[in-house]
């Protein structure tokens, strides 16, 4: 009894949740402007997918809704290279026909009738048979369709409508729900006796009798116990309503919602699905990198004269558990290829690969790649965990496995940092982990935190499994690895049949002391060879101070100022002539009130082409040190170059006040209030100063 009560509570809970979600959806729709509500509830009610509905109701502004609607139609355009959108033209035509023709004599608008709904989804039938004047059969209409196999429908099928009990609108007929009994005017037999009803219908009209049990051509379920076709019921209740969803890839909708601040309509209609991989790898320094690769389903190249071009813009961000942006970046990757190069890669996928440093913590990673030439975009969203360096050395720790089909060692990699390059070995993994029997399987991972004794006595057991059954096992002593932090092992796939496999690397500190384990999965395809992608991978000099600088900025965004100072100082000291490193260093120095150091670092750049980046920094430091005249000069230089800034205007006023020049202070503050009136404290203070000034002038008179 108790279990039944729990089950009832669960069911009621789910029911209330569903009702709540429906009510919430209805509230959102009711808040839409009439033009959007009509579009959403009427014009595209039958062709908008569930994902598109969900996204549309999450949009906040009319600009976003307009962009969505335009993208909605463009996504369905069968020929984007022509000015006409044939799909939209046909849909508008169907919708109009449903209202003007199929709605005649009905209390509801035509688009809301069953006939209108099917017509809008499937269009004009190939043939129409009408049985509207027969004395023994209620008014019935049969629409016959062909050519919808690409949407998962039968090659040939009928859709039947009838007036139940001879009155009202034509409704959609279901062999399972209604049966031939409901079509016959004078049927008096058992309502569950389909064979009797079918035989009676066959006597009246054999053609109608056939579709009364099965709507699918050649699938009439007639026998000793003639039963209605369940597949036919599935057709009208599920498959036909799903045709619009099968006709479009609605993945774009979720991407539009996520990246609506970065893309316009030109991009939103051209979302390209992709395969991707993200791995965290500790670098040679004391921090970790996020390595990632993205393989879009296609990369469009535009031809200009004899060359082919693409211009990729990459926007990345890392958000913590509170959705605070800890790090963000923008990069560009221009691509220029000649005709012979294009011929070599035309049948291959494209792989973009890059990496960036990230401080310890758990993050959501977002990477958006736009092709500025073709107006296409793709993206990935992943969750990553960056361990603290101390934790990786206090106890045994193993990284996530990387399975690669190629591992190249080349001296030219020695002083380079790039994605999936470890200790001079360039790994080429596939995001699908696909291999052929002729490949080698390279298993790479990192190991940390083992004691000297464990490294001396320990071993690694590699086991390859198919269907949880081991098919190959290798044990190797840790002493045999020259690099005990970065481990790479090669396995031949020769003799392995096409199937899915798992690989497990188990680390032991002695013969029996198990420490840690890493796992990965892969599959061997039955094809003889795979067309491996062509790769664009950004690179930078090894141990670049830019990485230290990026980490320092990340710590600053978390208000971990001492750590930020440490990294930004190290970066600056490695390259003190870099304006970018110096400016970022000055920012943390200002925050920590190390003003003399700000002036020392910034002064050499005041004669450089980047001096504008230091105006505010030098001004704030000078003001804090009481060097007001110098601060005013820096601040005015800032305004002359960058334009109006509230904080700078108010700082100029404070500096003038400290110098006793109330007239100039009021000029600065009144300008600030003119541009930004919502400053009540400053407004009150300025009013007091002006009143005091007036009183003093009266006293002098």
User: C-alpha angle 500/506/508, rounded to 5°?
Assistant: 170
Q: Over the stretch 450-482, which tens digit does the pLDDT of each residue have?
A: 999 999 999 999 999 998 899 999 999 999 999
CA gap 407, 430 in Å, rounded: 12
Inter-residue contact 664 to 656 (CB < 8 Å):
yes
Q: Are 490 and 436 within 8 A, CB to CB?
A: no
- Please report, for residues 77, 323, 331, the alpha-carbon distance to residue 255 in angstroms, rounded to integers and kept in the order given: 19, 18, 20
Q: Which of 99-113, 207-221, 366-380, 637-651 has the lowest mean pLDDT?
A: 207-221
Closest CA to 288 of 386, 371, 191: 386
Which range of 132-136, 301-305, 389-393, 625-629 scores highest in mean pLDDT? It is 625-629
Specify whether the CB–CB gap between 510 and 328 falls below 8 A: no
Supply the DSSP string of 403-460, one letter for each residue.
Answer: EEEEEEE-GGGTTEEETTEETTEEEEE-TT-EE-TTSEEEEEEEEE---HHHHHH-EE
Q: What is the mean predicted confidence (pLDDT) over 250-260? A: 82
Task: State residue 543's pLDDT score.
Answer: 82
Token pair for residue 115? Answer: 């006939």
Give the rounded distance of the alpha carbon of 124 from its chain centre. 37
Segment (H or E) for 501: strand 499-508
Would you say residue 420 has pLDDT above 90? yes
| Mean pLDDT of all residues in 29-54 | 91
pTM of the shown model: 0.72
Q: What is the mean pLDDT of residues 264-278?
A: 80
β-bridge mates for residue 393, sequence order: none
Burial of 423 (0-12, 13-18, 19+ CB in 10 A): middle
Farthest CA pair distance, the chain:
120
Give, to the nearest 10 degrees, the angle between helix 579-591 and helix 545-557.
30
Query: How far apart, in whole angstroms, are the C-alpha atoms of residue 568 and residue 635?
Result: 25
Mean of all residue pLDDT scores within the chain = 89
Q: How confident is the model at residue 106 (pLDDT cuts 50, 70, 90)?
A: confident
**Which three-class secondary structure state does DSSP give residue 276?**
strand
pLDDT digits (tens, 9 = 90+) for 651-683: 999 999 999 999 999 999 999 999 889 999 999
Comparing 288 with 176, the larger pLDDT belongs to: 288
- State how far the Cα of 341 lies from the Cα of 296, in Å rounded to an integer: 19
Q: Which two tokens stand for residue 697?
A: 């002038």
| Number of neighbours of residue 253 by Cβ within 10 angstroms | 26
The H or E element containing residue 621 is helix 615-624
Least confident stretch, 157-161, 216-220, 227-231, 510-514? 216-220
Residue with tokens 């020695």: 414
| H runs (alpha helix) in 235-381 | 243-246, 251-258, 265-268, 339-345
Report H helices in 259-361. Answer: 265-268, 339-345
Distance CA 482, CA 484 (A): 6
Residue 229 has a CB neighbour count (10 Å cut-off) of: 19
Counting Cβ atoms within 10 Å, is residue 541 exposed (0-12), middle (13-18) or buried (19+)? exposed
Q: For the chain, which residues make up each domain, given as ranges? A: 15-244, 272-452+493-498+523-541, 546-700
Residues 562, 592: Cα–Cα separation, whole Å: 9
What is the crossing angle of helices 680-700 and 662-675, to 10°? 140
Q: What pLDDT, on a 0 to 100 scale, did the predictor assign at position 30?
A: 80
Residue 17: pLDDT band (50, 70, 90) is very low
How much is the pLDDT for 265? 62
Q: Residue 672 and residue 597: Cα distance in Å, rounded?
A: 30
Mean pLDDT for the stretch of residues 26-45: 86
Using an 8 Å Cβ cutoff, are 148 and 247 in contact? no
Q: Which of 257-261, 441-445, 558-562, 590-594 has the lowest mean pLDDT?
A: 257-261
What is the mean predicted confidence (pLDDT) over 396-408? 95
When pLDDT is averaged across residues 321-335 and rounded to a whole number, the result is 93
Is the predicted pLDDT of residue 223 greater than 70, yes or no? Answer: no
CATH number for region 546-700: 1.25.40.10
CA-to-CA distance for 268 and 378, rounded, in angstroms?
A: 10
Q: In the prediction, which pLDDT does 18 show? A: 41
Q: What is the pLDDT at residue 386? A: 94
Please enumerate in sequence order all residues whose Cβ is within 8 A of that of 137, keeping only pairs 6 or more positions apart, or say none: 131, 183, 184, 185, 201, 204, 205, 208
In 3D, which of 585, 660, 583, 603 has the Cα closest to residue 628? 660
Which contiguous run of DSSP H or E holds residue 473? strand 469-477
Look at residue 518 and give its three-state secondary structure.
strand
**Which residues, 6 or more positions from 646, have their beta carbon under 8 angstroms from its beta carbon?**
672, 675, 676
Distance CA 354, CA 345 (A): 20
Q: Is 400 left (phi over 0), alpha (psi -120 to 50) or beta?
A: beta
Q: Could you report the per-residue pLDDT of 150-185, keeping only the tens digit for each?
A: 898 999 999 999 999 999 899 999 998 899 999 999
> Lowest-confidence range among 84-98, 211-225, 408-422, 681-695?
211-225
The pLDDT confidence band at residue 4, using thresholds 50, 70 and 90, is: very low
Pairing of strands 171-172, 274-282: unpaired
- The mean pLDDT value for 45-71 works out to 90
3-class secondary structure per residue, 365-412: EEEEEEECCCCEEEEEEEEEEECCHHHHHHCCEECCCEEEEEEEECHH
Average pLDDT over residues 207-233: 79
Q: How confident is the model at residue 582 (pLDDT cuts 50, 70, 90)?
A: very high
**Three-state DSSP class for 209?**
helix
Q: Are strands 434-435 and 514-524 parallel, antiparallel or unpaired?
A: parallel
Whole-number pLDDT of residue 367: 94
Residue range 25-47: mean pLDDT, rounded: 86
Which residues are CB-neighbours of 289 under 8 A, at least 6 positions away? 280, 281, 282, 283, 355, 356, 357, 358, 417
> Distance between CA 218 and CA 162 in Å, rounded?
22
Give yes or no for residue 14 having a pLDDT over 50: no
* Res. 511 pLDDT band, cuts 50 70 90: very high
CA dihedral 588, 592, 597, 603 (to 10 degrees): 50
Q: Which contiguous run of DSSP H or E holds residue 115?
A: helix 114-122
190: left (phi over 0), alpha (psi -120 to 50) or beta: beta
13 pLDDT more than 70: no
List, for residues 337-357, the tens digit of each pLDDT value.
Answer: 999 999 999 889 999 999 999
**CA separation for the pair 278, 520 (Å, rounded):** 14
Q: Are 290 and 358 in contact, with CB atoms under 8 Å apart?
A: yes
Strands ordered across the beta sheet of 514-524: 434-435, 514-524, 499-508, 459-466, 469-477
For a pLDDT cut of 90, what percent of the chain falls above it? 68
């Amino acid at each position: 009894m108790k279990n039944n009560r729990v089950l009832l509570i669960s069911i009621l809970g789910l029911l209330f949740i569903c009702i709540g979600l429906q009510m919430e959806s209805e509230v959102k729709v009711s808040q839409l402007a009439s033009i959007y509500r009509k579009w959403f509830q009427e014009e595209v009610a039958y062709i908008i997918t569930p994902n598109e509905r969900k996204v549309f109701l999450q949009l906040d502004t009319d600009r976003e809704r307009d962009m969505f609607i335009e993208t909605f139609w463009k996504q369905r355009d069968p020929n984007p290279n022509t000015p006409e959108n044939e799909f939209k033209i046909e849909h508008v035509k169907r919708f109009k026909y449903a209202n003007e023709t199929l709605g005649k004599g009905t209390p509801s608008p035509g688009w809301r009738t069953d006939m209108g709904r099917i017509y809008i989804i499937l269009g004009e039938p190939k043939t129409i048979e009408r049985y509207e004047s027969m004395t023994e059969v209620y008014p019935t209409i049969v629409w016959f369709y062909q050519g919808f196999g690409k949407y998962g429908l039968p090659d040939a099928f009928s859709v039947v409508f009838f007036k139940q009990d001879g009155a009202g609108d034509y409704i959609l007929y279901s062999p399972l729900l209604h049966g031939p009994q409901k079509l016959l005017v004078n049927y008096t037999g058992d309502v569950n006796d389909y064979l009797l009803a079918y035989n009676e219908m066959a006597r009246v009209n054999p053609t109608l009798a056939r579709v009364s049990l099965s709507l699918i051509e050649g699938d009439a379920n007639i026998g000793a116990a003639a039963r209605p076709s369940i597949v036919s019921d599935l057709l009208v209740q599920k498959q036909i309503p799903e045709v619009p969803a099968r006709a479009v890839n609605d993945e774009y909708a979720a991407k539009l919602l996520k990246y609506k601040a970065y893309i316009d309509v030109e991009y939103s209609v051209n979302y390209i699905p992709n395969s991707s991989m993200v791995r965290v790898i500790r670098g040679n320094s004391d921090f970790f990198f996020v390595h990632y690769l993205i393989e879009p389903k296609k990369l469009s190249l535009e031809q200009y004269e004899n060359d082919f071009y693409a211009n990729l813009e990459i926007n990345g961000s890392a958000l913590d558990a509170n959705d605070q942006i800890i790090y963000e970046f923008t990069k560009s990757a221009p691509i220029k290829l000649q005709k012979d190069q294009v011929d070599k890669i035309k049948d291959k996928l494209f792989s973009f690969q890059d990496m960036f440093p990230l401080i310890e913590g758990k993050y959501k990673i977002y990477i958006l790649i736009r092709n500025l030439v073709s107006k296409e975009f793709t993206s990935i969203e992943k969750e990553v965990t960056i361990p603290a360096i101390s934790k990786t050395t206090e106890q045994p720790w193993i990284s996530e496995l990387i399975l690669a089909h190629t591992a190249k060692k080349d001296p030219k990699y020695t002083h380079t940092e790039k994605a999936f390059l470890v200790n001079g070995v360039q790994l080429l993994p596939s995001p699908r982990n696909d291999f052929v029997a002729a490949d080698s399987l390279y298993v790479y991972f990192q190991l940390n935190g083992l004691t000297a004794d464990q490294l001396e006595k320990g071993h690694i057991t590699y086991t390859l499994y198919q269907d949880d059954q081991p098919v190959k096992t290798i044990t190797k002593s840790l002493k045999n690895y020259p690099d005990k932090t970065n481990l790479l092992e090669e396995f031949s796939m020769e003799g392995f049949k096409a199937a899915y496999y798992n690989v497990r690397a188990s680390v032991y500190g002695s013969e029996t002391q198990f420490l840690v384990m890493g796992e990965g999965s892969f599959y061997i395809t039955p094809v003889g060879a795979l067309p491996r992608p062509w790769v664009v991978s950004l690179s930078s000099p090894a141990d670049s101070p830019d990485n230290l600088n990026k980490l320092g900025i990340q710590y600053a965004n978390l208000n971990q100022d001492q750590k930020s100072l440490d990294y930004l100082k190290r970066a600056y000291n490695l390259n003190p002539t870099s304006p970018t490193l110096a400016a970022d260093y000055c920012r943390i120095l200002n925050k920590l009130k190390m003003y003399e150091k700000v002036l020392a670092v910034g002064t050499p750049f005041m004669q450089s082409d980047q001096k504008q980046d230091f105006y505010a920094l030098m001004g704030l430091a000078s003001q804090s040190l009481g060097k007001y005249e110098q601060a005013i000069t820096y601040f005015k230089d800032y305004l002359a170059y960058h334009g109006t800034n509230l904080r700078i205007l108010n700082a100029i006023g404070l500096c003038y006040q400290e110098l006793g020049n109330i007239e100039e202070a009021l000029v600065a503050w009144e300008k600030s209030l003119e541009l930004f009136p919502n400053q009540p404290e400053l407004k009150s203070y300025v009013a007091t100063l002006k009143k005091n000034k007036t009183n003093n002038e009266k006293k002098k008179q």
